[in-house]
Structure 1
């Protein structure tokens, strides 16, 4: 057991509880994820009415408060989330400690859409864009501690299921984007992280489980070929921890209905174990 870990469980996908990717967090909890933490908190918005936008940002406010409290108590906050957007709340909670925060975002997708660019209307495809202040700034500003992260303090790893228009936006942004072929180059990855380490003090490690190759098992209905192996994802974590204190993490977007023989579940649990072993509390 890692006594310093506070496990936050947000079992929602697009405002719906315990369905689709929202079923993943509780399934991981039932499979033993809680044994890796001293403290487990399942987060639920107040009231019975659920709406995607309102519920997502209410969850982020709950996450931010829990993360700030965990940091104050010397714990490492780790979020199990149905959607990637929950990381916005983690970043807001970390900001309360006054450190410069870097973000390592592993995902099959860019999550860098804005409402005007996103024909699908899927809020979670805008998660990283929200984190850096490209959209939804007013509602994000109601999350305690939220400050848009500078784009240059973000490293996007493993994204490959992007349109040409999305790729053009990513290339013109300030973040570092390492598609799978580049992410597999340990020297390039280490150099990119070393550059980030020159600007930030601590690191949040975000993993959408569909960054993995679906040959393991599809993480969700958005899985795409040419993903990273479980070993390659763990290598990214190891290289990151060698450069910067990893002080928090998110595991997101596992839909158990797409799993095969619990293979992605077991990959997620193994990765969670690696994270809890590598992460350290924020220095006070």
Structure 2
């Protein structure tokens, strides 16, 4: 992987209705992400945080059942431009969230540099809703659909192109909470999904080996979008939308180690750390541990 790395914080919590994930970037920095990466000999440029405007009360629910559309769009537009610029400068973008709606901007800035970008979506959720299918109107449940070109044009056309990714280049790992509309879209679009059922049955080594080999054959770059709610909340309590029955910390370390060894990643983001719900910054520390494994940290 590229040894020059840019860290971008996105203190966004407007893609959902539960407050607190806006403090995620600070929590991850406090847990030692920069020190961990510098110890692994990466050249780190911390670009600080993207500015996030706050909505007026009248903005809370907007057109097309999209909560805080204006603010989410503006933030992701800025993030996309920053990611685009860092990749153009041959720096690996590592984005820290914030809620998962920020993946709209990360993928927009990343995908324009690749003919066939692959995505590993490590998450309890599919995030494949649109305004028509979302039960809540929360945009953090929509970024993968938006990146496929499905959803409000303001979001799908960030940086003036769509779609950002093709459905056959997406692998979802750890899914265990999918809305009806998402299930339909997965079947229609042919998105590869390893639910907890497959992970329990096959084991994480086989799931990651299959995912890596699949994406190696068909893509020229791979983005990792890791939502900490992919982990079981018994281990990672400080997340935006916890779902019981998730991945273990050890399984997740193994997944990151296998991705590190594969050397296929070209960008990454870690999202949905909520310090308000956490226990002594435990979940942010887990995020830093996983980032360490992803970028080559080993016991020996």
User: Same-fold call, TM > 0.5?
Assistant: yes
Does 1:255 pair with 2:261? no
Contact 2:95 2:268 in 1 (8 A): yes
1:145 and 1:240, CA in 2 relative to 1: closer, same or farther beyond 3 A? Answer: farther
Inter-partner Cα distance in structure 2 for 1:104 and 1:230: 17
State the secondary structure of the residue aligned to 1:143. helix
Deviation at 1:211, TM superposition (A): 0.3
Deviation at 1:125, TM superposition (A): 0.7
From 127, 150, 159, the equivalent of 2:175 is 159
Residue 50 of structure 2 corresponds to which residue in structure 1?
Answer: 44
Q: CA RMSD in A?
A: 2.6
Of 264, 274, 281, the residue aligned with 2:293 is 274
Instruction: Find out whether 1:86 has 2:102 as its counterpart.
Output: yes
**Once the two structures are superposed, what CA deviation does each residue of 1:128-186 show, in whole Å capped at 9, x if it has no partner?**
11111121234431335653311010001101022455434433432100012323342
Scaled by the length of structure 2, the TM-score of the pair is 0.82
Question: For structure 1, which segment, 32-41 or 208-217, has the greater mean C-alpha deviation from structure 2 after superposition?
Answer: 32-41
Partner Cα distance (1:115, 1:11) in 2: 23
Partners of 2:76 and 2:47 in 1: CA distance: 14
Pick aligned residue for 2:265 from 220, 235, 246: 246
SS of equivalent to 2:119 = strand
- Decide which moves more: 230-239 or 148-157: 230-239
C-alpha deviation, 1:76, in angstroms: 0.7
- Conservation of the 8 A alpha-carbon contact between 2:204 and 2:255: no
Residue from 261, 268, 284 that aligns with 1:265: 284
After superposing the two structures, state which structure 1 stretch, 65-74 or 142-151, moved more: 142-151
Q: What stretches of structure 2 of length at least 5 have no aligned partner?
A: 38-42, 60-67
User: TM-score, with normalisation over the residues of structure 1?
Assistant: 0.87
Q: Which SS does the other structure have where 1:191 is aligned? A: helix
Cα distance change on mapping 1:96 and 1:117 into 2, 3 Å: closer
The answer to whether the Cα contact below 8 Å between 2:226 and 2:270 also exists between their aligned partners in 1 is yes
2: distance between equivalents of 1:88 and 1:166?
17
Q: Deviations over 1:221-255 (max 9, x none)?
A: 52111111112122223333444520110100111
Preserved CA contact (<8 Å) 1:101 1:204: yes
1:21-100 paired onto structure 2 within 5 Å = 21-35=21-35, 36=37, 38-45=44-51, 52-100=68-116
> How do 1:124-273 residues align onto structure 2 when only pairs under 5 Å count?
124-143=140-159, 147-164=163-180, 166-183=182-199, 184-243=203-262, 245-273=264-292
For 2:116 and 2:260, the matched residues in 1 are separated by 16
CA distance in 2, matches of 1:155, 1:269: 23
Shift of 1:24: 1.0
- Count of aligned pairs between the two proteins: 276
1:4 paired with 2:4, answer: yes
Query: Quick one: distance in 2 between partners of 1:237 and 1:171?
Result: 27
CA contact (8 A) 1:89 1:146 kept: no
- Cα contact 1:15–1:55 (8 A) shared by 2: no
